[in-house]
Amino acid sequence: MSDTELRDFFQRYIDALNAHEFDRMTEFVHDEVIMNGSQVKRDEVIAAQKGHVDAVPDFTWRVKDVAIDGDRVAARLFNRGTPTKEWFGVPPTGVTVEYAEYAFHKVRDGRFYEMNYLIDAQAVQEQLAG
């Protein structure tokens, strides 16, 4: 993929997440991927994504910066939502949280084969606690 194609691919992935179209993940994620250093199946990736949206129905991912290098995508995102169920070990308080996420993915044959995320879970918990 060219840099432009890879950038477009990543944005389509984010658009599918924001539309909560998790059945579309077959377009973006290989059957098995390395996720944060562990081999997982696509169904596990989808389960994690659904888990966030189950606890935070208005959860959104917003891309702020994207860098492309060969088969690699690095992105800085801002995620936002108001939990309606326990999330990150904190019961819902009505507080809307917004936090940065850093994503580093690798693409082969038109889909992600490695997906890495970094967020400050403690900062999210502190926001949730109010």
Question: Which pLDDT score is estimated for 66?
Answer: 97
Per-residue pLDDT in tens (0 to 9) along the chain, 130 residues: 899 999 999 999 999 999 999 999 999 999 999 999 999 999 999 999 999 999 999 999 999 999 999 999 999 999 999 999 999 888 999 999 999 999 999 999 999 999 999 998 888 888 888 7
Question: Which pLDDT score is estimated for 94?
Answer: 93
Q: Provide the whole-model pTM.
A: 0.92
Element (H, E) at 126: helix 121-129
SS3 115: strand
**Cα separation of 9 and 27, whole Å?**
10
Tell me which long-range contacts 33-36 makes (C-beta under 8 A, separation of at least 24): 33/112, 33/113, 33/114, 33/115, 34/113, 34/114, 34/115, 35/114, 35/115, 35/116, 36/115, 36/116, 36/117
Per the DSSP assignment, residues forming a β-bridge with 104 are 74, 116
For the chain, which domains are there? 3-129 (3.10.450.50)
pLDDT tens column, 28-50: 999 999 999 999 999 999 999 99
